[in-house]
Amino acid sequence: MKIGIIGISTFTLELACRAAQAGCEVIINNPRGGSLIKDAVKKMGTHAWIGSLEQAAAAEIVVLFIPKDDLENIIRSLPDMSDRIVVHTSGLIFDPHLLLSGITNAMTYKITASLLPQAHVVKLFSPVETQHKKADVSDQIKENIFYITDHSDSRNLIRSFLKKLHYVPIDLSARMDLHHKGLSLKNFINPLAVKPFKNSHN
């Protein structure tokens, strides 16, 4: 499987590293320049390399982490993305009381979807704890990760991909109503299974 990463954060670099370790081909493009991530990519081994925007966008799964101010310009610079799976990443503050508002307000992926109407856009939430807890090195609990998509083939592929990266994928697509104030995810979220990712934006 070929994975394209466009835009750099701690989370997308970790995705790239995990994907490379899992045997995927990973093409990484940082719109602000490849020299900033050269050393990090080199440590990922031969399965990952820095490529052009077009090369990263040609992958089976394209992961975007783009600042809001740059989003429209970069997306309009992409080649034809018809039928491609485009994953819009963001951080999610992990607090049960802020969960609904966090999801409701983290909707720039709708802008991505509107700019890429022929692509299959997936919203991926990387959990962020409000208070960092020191992890026990013996703790082998896999990390929960959340996604939303309305395309069944994309749903299946993303689920398989995230499992391959040793995440526990949780599909929120059919379980949430963004306008329902009583949303509760306590039954399928394990707060011990998340760890913080910095530099996230919605």
In DSSP notation, 28-51 reads EE-TT-GGGGHHHHHTT-TTEEE-
Q: Higher confidence at residue 56 or residue 135?
A: 56
**Please, what sign has the CA dihedral across residues 32, 51, 121, 44?**
negative
Residues 100-139 have pLDDT tens digits of 544 554 556 677 888 899 999 998 887 654 444 444 433 4
Task: Report the C-alpha gap between 88 and 85 in whole angstroms.
Answer: 10
- Among 196, 172, 189, smallest CA distance to 106 is for 172
Model pLDDT, residue 15:
95
pLDDT > 50? residue 179 = no
Residues 138-151 have pLDDT tens digits of 344 568 888 888 88
Task: Report the C-alpha gap between 171 and 73 in whole angstroms.
Answer: 30
| pTM of the predicted model as reported, rounded to 2 decimal places | 0.76
